[in-house]
């Protein structure tokens, strides 16, 4: 079953009772409930939301990723369960002891999968995709030729319409805002699933920034980014240059976890696909497999 993504963008009081999330809307006084076990991601996006400590504890014990946003509505923080797996210590050890050649092979597979999905999205957007498609077939162990960066330079010049004059910058002009929001959602889903699989999100296979608590999440989410990019392409088609975040745009991006993807020849919601990806990564660290499962963006 796919876990639910809950978003709160208005003043509310959130508490728990009988394993339920109890929501009281401050403006109307309306009260709603939902089972905590059904939730995978909960996003708090208003400065007048109150949440009880008891609810936070129950959410985290059920491996819910709890994301909070700042006054510009951008996700700035995330809370995760500290004990997401019964064999966590053992899996940590496998992860810590992973050899450099294995991590290089895993990064090679990750870059290949990302570039294949980027090429497919370019094809869907009727842009020339053959350059990135060729790069995807020539990624070496550890991506020693930096095919990912080479592809990115071409990809961002071609994936969006010319009238946007787009430059990918974290704090750049729209649709950077939409990309950032979508990526934050995917990052939270991946981090949650890594914890659920018994892995440390901090220890990356490629990313190693000492100030980044989610290096492994940033590694594993790379092939999932084009699914956010596709959603942003759809938003641009309906809005042109008018890309300041609206409730309808936010709704579209919040739907990314439920997007249908193909992974290992099977159709699956993106959130469930992430769980298969992180479970396959554990098998790689344990020496039971040499292949990490990633989704494919389909035509």
Report pLDDT for 85.
57
Report pLDDT for 74.
82
Kindly state whether residues 143 and 168 are assigned to the same domain.
yes
Report pLDDT for 226.
98
Kindly state whether residues 38 and 105 are assigned to the same domain.
no
Report pLDDT for 91.
85
Sequence ranges of the binding site:
148, 207, 222
Report pLDDT for 253.
96
| Number of alpha carbons in the 13 Å side-chain half-sphere of residue 210 | 0
Q: Is residue 86 very low, low, confident or very high in pLDDT (cuts 50, 70, 90)?
A: low
Parallel/antiparallel/unpaired status of strands 20-25 and 31-35: antiparallel
Kindly state whether residues 71 and 101 are assigned to the same domain.
no
Q: What is the number of structural domains in the chain?
A: 2
| Domain that includes residue 148, residue range | 88-296
Class of residue 7 by CB neighbours under 10 A (exposed 0-12, middle 13-18, buried 19+): middle
Tokens at 174, concatenated: 């729209």
Among 7, 44, 65, residue whose Cα is nearest residue 275: 65
CATH number, domain with residue 193: 1.20.120.920
Report the percent of the chain where pLDDT is more than 70.
98
Average pLDDT over residues 236-257: 95
Kindly state whether residues 220 and 114 are assigned to the same domain.
yes
Give the end of a domain, one of 79, 101, 134.
Answer: 79
Mean pLDDT, the chain, as a whole number?
93
Question: Residues 238-243: contacts with CB within 8 Å, 24+ apart?
Answer: 240/163, 241/163, 241/164, 243/174, 243/175, 243/177, 243/178
Rg (CA), the chain: 19
pLDDT above 70: residue 38: yes
User: 60-80: per-residue pLDDT in tens?
Assistant: 999 999 999 998 888 888 998
Parallel/antiparallel/unpaired status of strands 295-296 and 266-269: unpaired
pLDDT above 60: residue 12: yes
What pTM, to 2 d.p., does this model score? Answer: 0.90
Give the end of a domain, one of 36, 62, 79.
Answer: 79
Kindly state whether residues 68 and 143 are assigned to the same domain.
no
Question: What separation in angstroms does the CA of 243 have from each of 161, 192, 248?
Answer: 13, 29, 11
Kindly state whether residues 152 and 279 are assigned to the same domain.
yes
Give the end of a domain, one of 30, 51, 79.
Answer: 79
Sequence ranges of the binding site for Mn(2+):
148, 207, 222
Kindly state whether residues 126 and 63 are assigned to the same domain.
no
Report pLDDT for 13.
97
User: 167-187: per-residue pLDDT in tens?
Assistant: 999 889 999 999 999 999 999
CATH number, domain with residue 71: 3.100.10.20
Report pLDDT for 211.
61
Kindly state whether residues 232 and 145 are assigned to the same domain.
yes
Parallel/antiparallel/unpaired status of strands 75-79 and 266-269: unpaired
Question: Is residue 53 a contact partner of residue 43, using CB atoms and an 8 Å limit?
Answer: no
Kindly state whether residues 28 and 166 are assigned to the same domain.
no
Kindly state whether residues 180 and 117 are assigned to the same domain.
yes
Kindly state whether residues 40 and 125 are assigned to the same domain.
no
Longest dimension (CA), the chain: 59
pLDDT above 90: residue 103: yes
Question: Is residue 116 a contact partner of residue 148, using CB atoms and an 8 Å limit?
Answer: no
Residues in the chain: 299
User: 192-232: per-residue pLDDT in tens?
Assistant: 999 889 898 889 999 887 667 789 999 999 999 999 999 99
Kindly state whether residues 128 and 244 are assigned to the same domain.
yes
User: 202-211: per-residue pLDDT in tens?
Assistant: 899 998 876 6
Report the percent of the chain where pLDDT is more than 90.
84
User: 131-161: per-residue pLDDT in tens?
Assistant: 999 999 999 999 999 999 999 999 999 999 9
């Amino acid at each position: 079953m796919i876990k639910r993504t809950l978003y709160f963008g208005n003043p509310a009081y959130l508490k728990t009772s009988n394993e339920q999330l109890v929501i009281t809307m401050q403006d109307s006084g309306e009260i709603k409930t939902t089972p905590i076990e059904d939730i995978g991601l909960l996003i708090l996006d208003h400065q007048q939301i109150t949440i009880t400590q008891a609810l936070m504890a129950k959410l985290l014990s059920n491996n819910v990723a709890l994301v909070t946003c700042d006054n510009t509505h951008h996700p700035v923080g995330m809370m995760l369960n500290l004990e997401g797996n019964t064999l966590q210590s053992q899996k940590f050890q496998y992860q810590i002891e992973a050899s450099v050649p294995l991590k290089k092979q895993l990064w090679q597979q990750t870059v290949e999968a990302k570039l294949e999905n980027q090429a497919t999205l370019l094809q869907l957007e009727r842009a020339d995709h053959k350059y990135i498609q060729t790069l995807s077939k020539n990624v070496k162990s550890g991506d020693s030729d930096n095919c990912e960066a080479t592809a990115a330079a071409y990809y961002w010049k071609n994936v969006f319409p010319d009238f946007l004059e787009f430059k990918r910058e974290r704090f750049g002009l729209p649709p950077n805002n939409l990309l950032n929001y979508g990526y934050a959602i995917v990052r939270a889903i991946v981090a949650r699933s890594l914890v659920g699989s018994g892995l440390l999100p901090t220890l990356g296979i490629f990313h190693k920034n000492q100030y980044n608590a989610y290096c492994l999440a940033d590694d594993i989410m790379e092939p999932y980014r084009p699914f956010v990019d596709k959603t942003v392409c759809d938003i641009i088609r309906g809005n042109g240059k008018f890309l300041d975040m609206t409730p309808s745009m936010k709704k579209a991006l919040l739907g990314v976890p439920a997007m249908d993807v193909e992974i290992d020849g099977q159709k699956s919601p993106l959130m469930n696909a992430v769980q298969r990806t992180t479970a396959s990564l554990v098998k790689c660290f344990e020496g039971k497999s040499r292949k990490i499962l990633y989704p494919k963006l389909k035509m």
